[in-house]
Amino acid sequence: MASRLNPYVNILDGRARPALEFYQSVLGGELSLSTFGEMGMEGPLADQIMHGQLETPAGFTLMGADAPPEMVPVTMGDNVSVSISGDAGDADAMRGWFTGLSEGGEVRQPLTQAPWGDEFGMFVDKFGINWMVNIAGSAG
């Protein structure tokens, strides 16, 4: 297997399952989820997601998990964004992903022509994750 780099998002407030299911509803693909309970943990965290992985038809891999504060300290901020980029041939799909993933979140930059000539937009989804979409060569 070749090496690959993919995003792993930590979701606050026990919302990893709905977040990953939401990403699957927009991006498609196969979602696998493992709970803390399946790994032997008991108590209130047993039903939370220890690891989730979404493999999409577009070849994306997105991983995520619940971030109980006693196990994974998470500070929400703007230091990391998930980026989807492609060319004009994928523009319709990418516009659809932008619209779907930003639903219920905050669009910080609508998809529009950027100074570098591409179509670009940014948003924070309803789970607090920052996203960027760049469609090369599609703006005119």
What is the CATH number for 121? 3.10.180.10
| Residue 37 falls inside a structural domain | yes
Say if residue 12 is in the same domain as residue 62: yes
Say if residue 62 is in the same domain as residue 86: no
Q: Which domain holds residue 44?
A: 8-66
pLDDT of residue 37: 93
pTM listed for this prediction = 0.84
Say if residue 22 is in the same domain as residue 61: yes
pLDDT in tens, 11-46: 988 999 999 999 999 999 999 999 999 988 899 899
User: Which pairing describes strands 61-66 and 49-55: parallel, antiparallel, or unpaired?
Assistant: antiparallel
Q: Using CA atoms, how far apart are residues 61 and 55, in angstroms rounded to an integer?
A: 5
Q: Using CA atoms, how far apart are residues 106 and 63, in angstroms rounded to an integer?
A: 22
pLDDT in tens, 38-96: 988 899 899 999 999 999 999 999 999 998 877 777 776 666 789 999 999 999 999 99
Partner residues linked to 61 by β-bridges? 55
Tally of domains in the chain:
2
**With contact defined as beta carbons under 8 Å apart, do 101 and 26 qualify?**
yes
Last residue of a domain, which of 35, 66, 97? 66
Q: Using CA atoms, how far apart are residues 92 and 76, in angstroms rounded to an integer?
A: 31
User: Which pairing describes strands 8-11 and 61-66: parallel, antiparallel, or unpaired?
Assistant: parallel
| Residue 113 falls inside a structural domain | yes
